[in-house]
Amino acid sequence: MTRFKISCQNRGMDSNSYFKVRINTLMPGQPTTFDLHLKVADQVILYLRAGDRLDQEKIRALESRDSGHHFLVKEADRRSYKNYVHNQMISTNLNVREKAVVLRESSMTLVEELFENPDVNKALDASRPVIKDFVEFMKAEPEAMSHLISLSGHDFYTYNHSLDVSIYSLGLGESLALNKIELEELGIAALLHDIGKRHISLDILCKKGPLNDAEWSQMQKHPQYGLTILNDYQNVSDAVKAACFEHHESWVGNGYPQQISGQEIHPFARIVAITDTYDAMTTQRSYNVPLTPVDAVTTMKEKIAGRYDPDMLKAMYSVLFKLKGAA
């Protein structure tokens, strides 16, 4: 079961005239092409004008206090911010790990909007270019995936979880020899796997401690809610819908909501089932101590193996090898 954290505090917090950015997506000494604003209590103030810059020491100091919700850019400057990030990704001045940080952190805004933005279609439209950026980065830089994976898996927040499951799924998909188009669809499927939790009560999502039977019954409806959301959106493939609807099915047939088994479960759903559980096991939450990557996969293989496609679970060790290589 996945649990939410950030959404409990910030759902609907920001005005549509701004979007959130992470301070560590700014390059030291690099002039910005957009105004940067700071949210203090209920006030939004201009912090840095377009054309100004911050040095490394200042960025590090701000980063240590940045929860991801303080720095804002006007919606009118979204294109300028995206171009700023793109220029960093093609820069010869950054190494692969630095680019991985920029790509992952700049993508968090989109993932938050999938859960917070009242205009679901707008957020879904923005998801495809984000995943394409990840896949292109993987193809351009052989070490990209290992660095993206190594940046994942810390505190268990809603948006971190969705993005990290997408990254792990891309790593597993690459190990399974999926082509570029298949990887892009898989990445979107993983990013949207919990979209149905938009319709789950915050009291349930934010509850500290175990859910009672009635609450668990509601939580188990999020695959159906997700499918309903995606069915109302024209540009989502059947494979993406299947991953959303079937990622809690079990290889032996005792999952939900349909109790289907084995090859009846879509391959994307089988991949997301593994990476969803892996991320939940390896990240810090209020009610458990995270497992190491190897211990998590070993536990999945030895104690709950019946839930997963055995060949895909075996391939997950290739993802762990990449993680070790980036250490």
Give yes or no for residue 300 having a pLDDT over 90. Answer: yes
CATH of domain 77-326: 1.10.3210.10
Q: Label residue 219 by pLDDT band (50, 70, 90).
A: very high
Instruction: Give the pLDDT of residue 2.
Output: 38
Residues 167 and 145: their CA atoms lie apart, in Å, by 8
Residues whose CB is less than 8 angstroms from the CB of residue 55 and which lie 6 or more positions away in sequence, other chains included: 28, 29
Kindly report, residue by residue over 129-168, the tens digit of the pLDDT: 889 999 999 999 989 988 898 887 555 456 688 899 999 9
Residues 230 and 122: their CA atoms lie apart, in Å, by 13
Q: With contact defined as beta carbons under 8 Å apart, do 272 and 295 qualify?
A: no
**Where is average pLDDT lowest: 68-82, 103-117, 150-164, 180-194?**
150-164
Give yes or no for residue 106 having a pLDDT over 50. Answer: yes
Q: With contact defined as beta carbons under 8 Å apart, do 198 and 172 qualify?
A: no
Q: Label residue 287 by pLDDT band (50, 70, 90).
A: low
Residues 117 and 119: their CA atoms lie apart, in Å, by 5
Per-residue pLDDT averaged across 100-119, rounded?
84
Give yes or no for residue 204 having a pLDDT over 60. Answer: yes
Distances in Å between the Cα of 312 and the Cα atoms of 31, 171, 259, 309 are 45, 12, 20, 5
Q: Label residue 46 by pLDDT band (50, 70, 90).
A: very high
Give yes or no for residue 83 having a pLDDT over 80. Answer: yes
Instruction: Give the pLDDT of residue 4.
Output: 35
* DSSP string for 218-255: HHTTHHHHHHHHHHT-TT--HHHHHHHHHTT--TTS--
Per-residue pLDDT averaged across 191-218, rounded?
89
Position of tokens 């010869």?
A: 92
Tell me the pTM: 0.86
Q: With contact defined as beta carbons under 8 Å apart, do 120 and 199 qualify?
A: no
Give yes or no for residue 86 having a pLDDT over 50. Answer: yes
Kindly report, residue by residue over 245-277, the tens digit of the pLDDT: 999 999 999 999 999 999 999 999 999 999 999
The domain limits of the chain are: 77-326
Instruction: Give the pLDDT of residue 243.
Output: 98
Position of tokens 């991985």?
A: 100
For 167, counting Cβ atoms within 10 Å of its Cβ (0-12 exposed, 13-18 middle, 19+ buried), the class is: buried
Tell me phi and psi for residue 293, to 5 degrees. -55, -45
Residues 300 and 292: their CA atoms lie apart, in Å, by 12
Kindly report, residue by residue over 164-184, the tens digit of the pLDDT: 999 999 999 999 999 999 999
Per-residue pLDDT averaged across 92-96, rounded?
92
